[in-house]
Amino acid sequence: MKTRYPQAQLETLVQTIFRRWPGLVGFSVEDAGELVLTEMETQPWSVQPRELLGEVSDALLDFVDESPEALELLRGRTFARTLH
């Protein structure tokens, strides 16, 4: 996922996470020396929390490994599914 446009890639990644996990409502990321998912909201009947937490964490860490400058894009952010 090497890029010159980490913001665009982050948007694509977050959209992919929400498509993969329809029960995911939103999540927050903090930097406490390392990235930490501080909150995750789901529709409880549709998600296995441990699996979801692992997948979201892995996707975000892979993203930062490939684009270290993107760490600033994640720090202190909350991502929410857009509801219409």
In this prediction, residue 4 carries a pLDDT of 61
Residue 32 has a pLDDT of 79
Contacts of 25 (CB under 8 A, 6+ apart): 41, 42, 43, 80, 81
pLDDT at 1: 47
pTM of this prediction? 0.82
Question: Which of 52-59's residues contact partners 24+ apart within 8 Å by CB, and which partners?
Answer: 52/21, 52/23, 52/24, 55/17, 55/20, 55/21, 56/17, 56/21, 56/24, 56/27, 59/13, 59/16, 59/17
Domain map (residue ranges) of the chain: 6-79
Structure confidence at residue 5 (pLDDT): 77
Q: What is the pLDDT along the chain (84 residues), one digit of tens a residue?
A: 454 678 899 999 999 999 998 889 999 999 877 888 888 888 876 667 778 888 999 999 999 999 888 888 999 999 999 765
